[in-house]
Amino acid sequence: MLDKTRSTIAKELLLNTTKTTSEIGYELGFKDTSNFNRAFKKWTGVSPGQFRK
């Protein structure tokens, strides 16, 4: 359930803000960007940067 919530919030922040992936990852409770990137790719199949494009 936590991953689902984090995934939803991450997608919204990537699409609707100019925050960096580091800032978004930190806000979602990840200690470093690589952990956030890895989790995001697991959730969506693409990196945060690819998703934002």
Residue 24: strand, helix, or coil:
helix
Instruction: Tell me the C-alpha to C-alpha distance, in Å, between residue 37 and each of 2, 4, 11, 47, 52.
Output: 16, 15, 12, 6, 13
pLDDT given for residue 30 in this prediction? 95
Residue 29 has a CB neighbour count (10 Å cut-off) of 10
pLDDT digits (tens, 9 = 90+) for 41-50: 999 999 999 9
Cβ–Cβ under 8 Å, residues 14 and 51? yes
Domains of the chain with bracketed CATH: 2-52 (1.10.10.60)
The confidence score (pLDDT) of residue 50 equals: 95
Whole-model pTM: value is 0.89
- Cα distance between residue 7 and residue 15, in whole Å: 12
What pLDDT band is residue 35 in, cutting at 50, 70 and 90?
Answer: very high
Q: What is the pLDDT of residues 1-22, one digit of tens each?
A: 888 999 999 999 999 999 999 9
